[in-house]
Amino acid sequence: MHFEQLQYIAEIGKQGSITTAAEKLHVSPPAISKSISNLEKELGIQIFRRSKTGMVPTQQGKAVIKKAYEVISKIHELREEAKLQETLAKTELKISCLPGLTYSAFNSLLKLQIDFPEVIVEIQEDDLRKIFKDVKTGKCDIGIIASNNIELEEELDLVYKELALGSPCILVGKNSPFAFHEYVTPDDLKNECLATYKGDLMKFLLKSYFSKNRVVISSNNVEIIRKAIIEGMGIGIAFEEIFKNDADVLNGDILIIPLRDSDLLIKSIYSIHANDKPLTPPAKLFLKFVQDYWG
């Protein structure tokens, strides 16, 4: 078994194609195909099977591919550690978040700057599938998402870690009629206007649970939504853990009211990163601060 063979099966698992994997690795398809055949003979198992959609890992193959990712990650980690001091001064940290999760990320970045003031940070909001793609292709280092374990188990080339559990709630201004409610139900909200973040998760929530409500404002700008809620233009739908340390919640301008008697899915908040790209020390510290924020 050679390290190159592990790279080959990892890339094929990611791309679903020998041809595409060969292009990425700058190796001829026949060379990769022969190398994989030799590895399968050595291990005594079939790692991939051909289908109309490309190369699909077998159940045994999935286990081998996961191990390959772990080995590749460890090799990269060793290389990263070796050159850390040399490259730290020009380290970049690119983060992609679902709308609504950026505030916690920003607060964690403020703490990160104390320990790593030289790190250049880029942060953006996007939908779930785009974040998956950007993390896998190296366009961003870390994704902060709301998802479930089933979705993430299908992503063989991602490492994920649960940071917090999201409980459904509504966000209202301090002068809202709901301000003194201990909790609300979906029936209580059936005639209410909503102010919502853009994104796949919110589209799912609106379609599944609030399809009859009027959305008065929809934006991917956190400040606009926050202002709309404070001014009473609409009610926000969110997960309590995401906003419990929000500045406007802490000063009383926005109130969190639990949403009960609903089959609204409780989602977990996860961090994700590419399986073949280990986290740098700044990235690890950033995720610690994010988890502490929700702890």
Residue 181 pLDDT > 70: yes
Query: What pLDDT is attached to residue 86?
Result: 55
pLDDT at 13: 87
- On average, the pLDDT of the chain sits at 85
Q: What is the pLDDT of residues 78-128, one digit of tens each?
A: 777 666 655 554 578 899 988 767 777 787 888 888 888 878 888 888 888
Pairing, β 142-147 against β 92-97:
parallel
pLDDT (tens digit per residue) in 44-73: 989 988 888 888 889 988 998 998 888 888
C-alpha dist (Å) from residue 71 to 15, 77, 82, 144, 277: 19, 10, 17, 25, 11
DSSP state of 282: H
More confident: 242 or 211: 211
The first and second tokens of residue 216, run together, are 């008065």
* pLDDT the model gives residue 232: 93
Is the pLDDT at 200 greater than 80? The verdict is no
* Residue 224 CB neighbour total at 10 angstroms: 14
Whether the predicted pLDDT of 210 surpasses 90? no
Confidence (pTM): 0.60
Measured between alpha carbons, how far is 123 from 284 in angstroms, rounded to an integer?
Answer: 16
